[in-house]
Amino acid sequence: MHLSWLNIVISDLHRLSLYNTSSKVGREVSIDPTLCLYSPQEVYYALSNHKIVKSWLNFMADLYEYPNKKIILIYPCSTVKPYTKSQSYKQLYRTFSRLERNIVNNIHLITISEPFGLVPSEFYNTSFTWYDCPGLFEWWCKKHGVN
């Protein structure tokens, strides 16, 4: 798995080991190895150079039309992909189920994510390209020996 643009900080062997862990965060989806970002440098590089990331950011900035809802709920991403398979999102949906239908119908759920920025809920169960991006967390980088 030679991903030369990602080998900024991490050797191929170390990346393969990390990817073996990353691939397990996908529940019934595949994690794109080119979107496994294990250091702040890789995240920065992906924001300005990764075709999928750039395309998504351009889509959200220029083409995405927000639905006419009264509430936009921005919720953090989860390690588990798709988000809906994570415990935090299951809890969120349980909370929604206890609200009046007219309230839930007026909520537009959006995930805040790195490197994709905003990911609206209508893309959760589509062909969205799934990723693993722990490289912005200092504790994670220290734990896995990534500078």
Q: What is the pLDDT of residues 8-36, one digit of tens each?
A: 567 888 889 999 999 999 998 999 999 99
pLDDT at 2: 43
CB 142 within 8 A of CB 127: no
Count: domains in the chain: 1
Q: What is the mean pLDDT of residues 132-142?
A: 91
Compute the distance between CA of residue 141 and CA of residue 122 in angstroms, rounded to an integer: 32
Residue carrying the six token digits 């191929």: 12
What value does the CA radius of gyration of the chain take, rounded to a whole number of Å? 17
pLDDT over threshold 80, residue 86: yes
Compute the distance between CA of residue 74 and CA of residue 56 in angstroms, rounded to an integer: 17
Amino acid 63 reads L
First to last CA, the chain: 21
Cβ neighbours for 140, distance < 8 A, ≥ 6 positions apart:
134, 146
Domain that holds residue 91: 4-143
Q: Is the pTM value of this prediction over 0.95?
A: no
pLDDT at 18: 93
